[in-house]
């Protein structure tokens, strides 16, 4: 009997061992539960890898040895800057980075602190710029005049007229093609003032607002046999390249076109080179540079494309402002 009990106890003990051996792995079946959730954390980009917000690019940085000149397209398209700037660059030992845009855009560049000095031609807007504190010094530099150009066929019959407003009235009445700068440049500002004097707000298929510089507008007008308003210097410079437009209206005092140079307020941007800007102004209004301006165009056109008009020039030649 005791042997039977002993045998049964052995069987039970063996069964318990086997049972415990089978149950032992049960614990590890839950252990992997932690690693299966662990990868959820790496799905978040570590702080060191989170892309930083891209800051707005600073408008400009200080560039030693470079002066930024924002100017109207007429001073570049006419070739004047190529003629006179090497002299300043040689004297000052710097490069002049020219940004040729409409006067409105040039003034905006100055207002935003993205230029050191401006050479523009819209006196009322220049005065507003100075009054608002965007500039700290303005000087007269030179002048020329605007002319109304058109095809030789002259469908609006304005040739020989000396009243610009009346000429534009005839163009509008004939609905003859007219290409406008349409870019808030000094030329566009002048054009709009003449339309206003004529009591006309130009509109219609015949009135083409291009949003282009003076050179592009002249080429467009030539191709389309259209009328346009241009500064005389750019027109003459491009006439050497085969432009076939003709000067039809000139001589009206309202077509006077003065240019001024402005030093941008250095408070606009720590990168503004005020000392260099004033050096440029002193140079461009000086008698030697004014003489260079007067000579430009004489060889090719037997006339100056720009007339010197700085205070120093007027004082030296006894002329009024």
Within a domain: 269: yes
Whether residue 152 sits in one domain with residue 248? yes
Q: Radius of gyration of the chain from Cα atoms?
A: 38
pLDDT value for 65: 84
**pLDDT above 70: percentage of residues in the chain:** 80
Does residue 12 lie within any of the structural domains? no
Last residue of some domain: 236, 255, 274? 255
- List the single range of 42-56, 86-100, 221-235 with lowest mean pLDDT: 42-56
Domain annotation covers residue 203:
yes
DSSP string, 109-161: HHHTT--SEEEE--HHHHHHHHHTTSEEEEEEEEEEEEEEEE-TT-TT--TT-
Last residue of a domain, one of 233, 255, 277: 255
Final residue of a structural domain among 255, 270, 303: 255
Q: What is the pLDDT of residues 56-105, one digit of tens each?
A: 334 566 677 899 999 999 999 999 999 999 999 999 999 999 999 999 99
In this structure, the answer to whether residues 269 and 135 fall within a common structural domain is: yes
Residue 22 phi/psi, 5-degree rounding, is -70, -35
Of the candidates 260, 301, 280, 264, the one whose C-alpha atom is nearest the C-alpha of residue 87 is 280
Q: Hey, what are 57's tokens?
A: 């690019």
Evaluate whether residue 13 is within a structural domain. Answer: no
Tokens matching residue 146: 């605007």
| Across 2-11, 88-97, 190-199, 288-297, least confident range | 2-11
DSSP labels, 271-307: T--HHHHHHHHHHHTSHHHHHHHHHTTHHHHSS-SSE
Residue 319 banded pLDDT, cuts 50, 70, 90: confident
The phi and psi torsions of 32 (rounded to 5 degrees) equal -65, -10
Q: What is the pLDDT of residue 241?
A: 87
Per-residue pLDDT averaged across 228-256, rounded?
Answer: 95
Q: Which CATH number does the domain housing residue 188 bear?
A: 3.40.190.10
- 271 occurs within a structural domain: yes
Is residue 59 situated within a structural domain?
Answer: no
Q: Are residues 193 and 250 in the same domain?
A: yes
Phi, psi of 27 (to 5 degrees): -65, -45
Closest to 120 (Cα-Cα) out of 258, 266, 321, 304: 258
Q: Do residue 283 and residue 192 come from a single domain?
A: no
Asked whether residue 149 falls in the same domain as residue 246, the answer is yes
Cβ-based neighbours of 72, under 8 Å, separated by 6 or more = 100, 101, 102, 103, 106, 119, 120, 121, 185, 186, 187, 259
Domain containing residue 196: 145-255
Q: For residues 150 and 247, state if they share a domain.
A: yes
**Same domain (yes/no): 295, 246:** no
Write the DSSP string, 235-264. HHHHHTTT---EEEE---GGGEEEEEEEEE
- Write out pLDDT tens, residues 196-207: 999 999 999 999
73 and 213: one domain?
A: no
Domain check: are 73 and 119 in the same one? yes
> Does the pLDDT value for residue 39 go beyond 60?
no
pLDDT tens digits, 89-99: 999 999 999 99
**What is the tally of structural domains in the chain?**
2
pLDDT higher than 50, residue 227: yes
Rounded Cα gap, residues 118 and 257, in angstroms:
16
* 242 and 274 share one domain: no
pLDDT, the chain, mean: 85
- The verdict on residue 17 lying in a domain is no
Asked whether the predicted pLDDT for residue 135 surpasses 70, the reply is: yes
Same domain, 154 and 217: yes
Residue 166 shares a structural domain with residue 194: yes
């Amino acid at each position: 009997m005791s042997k039977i009990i002993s045998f049964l106890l052995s069987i039970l003990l063996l069964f318990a061992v086997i049972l415990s051996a089978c149950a032992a792995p049960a614990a590890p079946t839950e252990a992997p539960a932690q690693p299966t959730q662990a990868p959820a954390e790496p799905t978040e980009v570590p702080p060191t890898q989170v892309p930083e917000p891209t800051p707005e690019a600073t408008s400009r940085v200080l560039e030693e040895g470079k002066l930024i000149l924002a100017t109207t397209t007429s001073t570049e398209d006419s070739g004047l800057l190529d003629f006179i700037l090497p002299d300043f660059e040689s004297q000052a030992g710097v490069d002049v980075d020219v940004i040729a845009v409409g006067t409105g855009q040039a003034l905006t560049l100055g207002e935003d602190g993205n230029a050191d000095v401006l050479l523009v031609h819209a006196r009322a807007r220049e005065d507003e710029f100075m009054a608002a504190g965007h500039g700290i010094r303005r000087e007269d530099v030179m002048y020329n005049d605007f002319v109304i150009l058109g095809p030789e066929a002259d469908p609006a019959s304005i040739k020989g007229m000396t009243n610009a407003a009346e000429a534009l009235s005839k163009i509008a009445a004939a609905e003859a093609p007219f290409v406008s700068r349409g870019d808030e440049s000094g030329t566009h500002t002048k054009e709009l003032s003449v339309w206003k004097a004529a009591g006309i707000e130009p509109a219609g298929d015949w009135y083409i607002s291009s949003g282009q510089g003076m050179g592009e507008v002249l080429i467009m007008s030539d191709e389309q046999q259209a009328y346009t308003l241009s500064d005389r210097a750019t027109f003459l410079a491009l006439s050497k390249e085969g432009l076939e437009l003709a000067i039809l209206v000139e001589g009206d005092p309202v077509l006077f076109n003065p240019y001024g140079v402005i030093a941008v307020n250095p408070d606009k941007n720590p990168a503004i080179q005020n000392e260099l800007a004033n050096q440029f102004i002193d140079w461009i209004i000086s008698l030697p540079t004014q003489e260079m301006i007067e000579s430009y165009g004489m060889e090719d056109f037997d006339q100056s494309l720009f007339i010197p008009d700085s205070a120093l020039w007027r004082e030296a030649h006894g002329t009024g402002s």
